[in-house]
Structure 1
């Protein structure tokens, strides 16, 4: 019998999986041991917000900032741990501010966990996306930065949440959600880091994992189904995103090496074929010489991954202000023209 279960959650890693071949009798003994372990009294566990901090955290205010850089973690990720190397370096907090001193850098957390034993977020990705837009709008209004250009760095599932957020923002018009449109208008660049645009192996992330969730985890089945290769949800999302994707400078980063798993083979979590959107002519594919976990963890400025990502971010930041300003001026002209036509038609 072949069983797959997720790992790394306790350390804030994004999802990888382990496949173990075992006989039915061995599996039965494992189930019994697991039930016994779960029935033992346990010390109080951290609260949900402590385990998986949610919302925006400003990790660097920047000096007279002219741009916002917003980072989103992935599946089973963590607002801080996802970006932190083994030596404790959180590159968005400890390295990037020196290279981009005029950037305010924020990390956004949300509950996208599939392998917690006592709880799971059942929010759909679109709900997370709306929350991201709302959180950013509030922060930017309260700090008088609503028109500041934005560059997003999104790992794994975070890229899919971001695409839904931009789709929602683009659809917002006058009314209660008018402010939400400002996020799309202000977005200059996107760094997708190992995002499964085309989905991933459904057996790994869905069907087999679901077979053992009653024993090991409280998995978010609906979330996992969204990520299956060529899922209807992913196709619909890409269809909605395609009309606006050329409005942003886009980098599709993909992992070069397979990710190690416990007691099993290394796996390519998000291969190049899924991490890069075919036909997006204005986007640039970028290889990161690391596995899926390490591709967003840099221990020093000499890390080749950090050099690659930070240099691209610096170039984006240089070009962002003028482009976003022109876009907002064009939007204002269109809105004024519509208002004038409306006034004329009402006479």
Structure 2
């Protein structure tokens, strides 16, 4: 079964609607239609962003973006040089659905995917409908929450020289751009972290808490506003990275190998970050999910890597749980292949975060 491609289109004018977007994308000649969601831009209040799926296929001018030959594609929308930018990486913060007009936003939900994940795709189900639960379900259950995904270069084959601190700092920077007014800075934040994404969140919260509220109030405001964290298979105490390190091309990026080793078992970086996070975690609502279903590990084949190796738990239970008092940390097990149960972030269920 082929997987539909999802694109992000940024730089849209505020007055745009889906019909105008269709015209701007010049799809008629190729017989293509779109399924799109248009939302405010997180970092530029003067523009909007669309999340788009093309039907039955993407236009031919995006072939280089799909192949990875180019990171994005630009389209000139009008004579005023308002350029639309189309990408598939979803780096930075992207709002998933628009809140009701003039409604007060009750909370910001921020989801961070794991290493080798994708900011949008990692939250999609594996069924035939490929529902993206943060977008498709939460816009019904939590329409007054601004739900966002945070994307970063998490590819194992990336030549990037990123360290943990780079992802942490980028998340904080993007949040500060999205939360500039007093009302926004006082708005509660609910973080959702999958695997390595949970580590990025805890590291960011530690830096936010340790910042000076007088000289750096915008950074400190993130810690002050954080209400809850949901961790899905987060390796707080590290995990066996052997199956991932063998997928790294050492000729391309020794730094990527170093990043993986920094989150392995007995990692001083994780140990220190966890110790500092636990000093204030009791102030939060915490839900920690751990896996009970082993997955096949990747092995190299002629065309690359496939999951045909021995079965392993990606993150052991003892690493996925913080060990907080049960009144503070709710723990649940889940099956990764079935996606994340939405009931733990829905106001219609027992554990309400709204």
- Same fold (TM > 0.5): yes
Deviation at 1:218, TM superposition (A): 6.9
1:272 is the counterpart of 2:317: yes
Match of 2:144 in 1: 102
Deviation at 1:188, TM superposition (A): 0.4
Decide which structure has greater helix share. Answer: 1
Match of 2:69 in 1: 45
Match of 1:185 in 2: 224
1:286 is the counterpart of 2:328: no
Q: Return closer, same or farther for 1:152/1:51 CA change in 2, 3 Å cut-off.
A: same
8 Å Cα contact 1:99-1:314 kept in structure 2: no
| Structure 2 unaligned spans of 5+ | 7-66, 73-85, 298-306
**Any idea what the Cα deviations from partners look like across 1:155-195, whole Å, max 9, x if unmatched?**
01010000011011101114552211111111100000110
Deviation at 1:94, TM superposition (A): 0.9
8 Å Cα contact 1:189-1:250 kept in structure 2: yes
Q: Distance in 2 between matches of 1:104 and 1:295?
A: 21
Decide which structure has greater strand share. Answer: 2
Q: How does 1:1-347 map to 2 (within 5 A)?
A: 45-47=69-71, 50-63=87-100, 64=103, 65-86=105-126, 87-114=129-156, 116=157, 119-141=158-180, 144-206=183-245, 208=246, 213-214=249-250, 220-261=256-297, 262-281=307-326, 282-288=328-334, 290-291=335-336, 294-296=338-340, 305-310=341-346, 315-318=351-354
Instruction: Provide the aligned length of Structure 1 versus Structure 2.
Output: 264
Q: Distance in 2 between matches of 1:220 and 1:273?
A: 26
Q: Distance in 2 between matches of 1:143 and 1:46?
A: 39
Higher relative contact order (CA 8 A, sep 6+): 1
Specify the structure having the higher radius of gyration (Cα).
1
Deviation at 1:62, TM superposition (A): 2.2
| Structure 1 unaligned spans of 5+ | 1-10, 13-42, 297-304, 319-347
Q: Return closer, same or farther for 1:285/1:191 CA change in 2, 3 Å cut-off.
A: same
Q: Distance in 2 between matches of 1:215 and 1:129?
A: 26
Q: Return closer, same or farther for 1:263/1:154 CA change in 2, 3 Å cut-off.
A: same
Q: Distance in 1 between matches of 2:159 and 2:252?
A: 13
4+ residue segments displaced more than 3 Å: 48-51, 202-206, 214-219, 293-296, 307-316
Q: Distance in 2 between matches of 1:45 and 1:80?
A: 20
Q: Distance in 2 between matches of 1:128 and 1:77?
A: 14
